[in-house]
Structure 1
């Protein structure tokens, strides 16, 4: 088993994000009460005589066209904001202020919105990817943790675990309202939805169980005993569920057809987040000493990427890169998935935790397909065509 030792991270690109870097709360001691302030770069550009198209668009005089780009949204727990990284350049293009203690994020299937859980303010912030501004704030349960979004029999829904409320909030993404709350085990943590949208898997840390939710009825159909259940991910073909067990330092593999355990993989100490690449061939597991890479064909660890306090992991759509939130370094580590070696990094906010990647809609302040600057799609199930911003 190969071990990739990364004691010093590759060059971290610390770009100046446009936006606000916010405050500090109790659990943010790990991030420290370091930088604060307001970066008014975007405003300065306009006031300094930036593009007339930008100024007119900001005033609502010129309609915005829509383009797409592949982007990563990173939750910064200690900064109360979300860093937006353009993956074409690996630059932070903006920073979006959200609620207190942003923990997890998920991009909608259409790429028009991002749902961010705020663990310390008990809310979910909804970011419009066209403008990268919060359009709605939704009140959920106490200490929301993970969020998973999928197209269910009832439409596009977001499932949010509420750690202190012992339940899951179900959000209708069409109306951005909580339509139901599902009781689960004690201290629900991770959540994942099957590709067909029929089932949701929820890990319950304290009760040591895995709740299986039927999305047709939004009720728990099965409960699986799984001591120390923490993070969870479903393979792209929907046949397997990978669950990290923090108290046992392993990953349990579950057959979704029978909801029975069919495999066990020893990984590093205190495994937390788990993500599976788009082809379903590798599972990346964050633990206290690095990221364990599992070959899903035989459920063995093929290598370990050494990193300090890794958290959320997300893959690019083509699966060639993995982006790992490094909680202690105010950075995201970029990993080449062919070699499983770090190839770069991006500086973000304080105590980054969650990462989500997708092809998102972008509002362009230039000529193109007309669209009102405050436009918000009403049907989130239909992605935009792949337009590009004219240069």
Structure 2
């Protein structure tokens, strides 16, 4: 999840804990999944009730796990209900920082580092200081960084504040199938690219590589005859796959050695990704500059020079995809989200969308 740092440091974009050992003796990368599991619910059963204006979502646009929350928040129309803080794409050994804000301080939480919100609730917190995180504004305490549950809860617990026309991203009649797809996509693709990139042995790398591309072949077959992963509308499953696919050619293909093919050389997945990219709420959340700077500047164990690639050319994201010929409607009986607020728009130079 959106952390940062290299394996064995503080809990970076690979999900590791301070001082933890996450490359096993055989060289296999293992993700620390011990998150702050408190939930914000409609009935407040964990002590944190749904309440508009109370919580602040802290993200980095570089992070695929945080990107999920940015997309779901946009699609459901929760921008006025849950404010959003955007950390910079890089960070130091301690924490994500708010270096994009004036004076390097988040204007709502009043902090320079996300670490401060973790310490406010758990003094001396030693696990990963990760994004996405939901922070309680009145107390300044982190509530949860359990990114998988967070996005589901936006769909199921915050329904009273969804916009009119919001899509059903986790409909009850499809939840079992969505959960099944999410489980294999997480294991083999979302986390699979990291298992390739941070493998500590040739054997571990090749196992992860084949597992990744076998699953991408499975997804190609699934998506060759249907527009979306589950059902005929966008669901949580599409959000979770998209945030990995959109980073594939820019970082995972080279930086993480996921190089059997580029995404743009896999016709079905490439068309599927372009379809989502041009769907409001998806591509307009993507900042390719932040994505590249994070991976190439922060992961110095993989890229010691910190040099950031100039490419790839982004114009091909807007090539017609023809996926509508398969039927389906992205928002079902709902409507597209309105454009993002001016303060949340991605810089024009960082995306082919204008």
Computing the radius of gyration from Cα coordinates, the structure with the larger value is: 1
Name whichever structure is richer in helix by fraction.
2
Same fold by TM (over 0.5)?
no
TM-score (norm 2): 0.31
TM-score (norm 1): 0.29
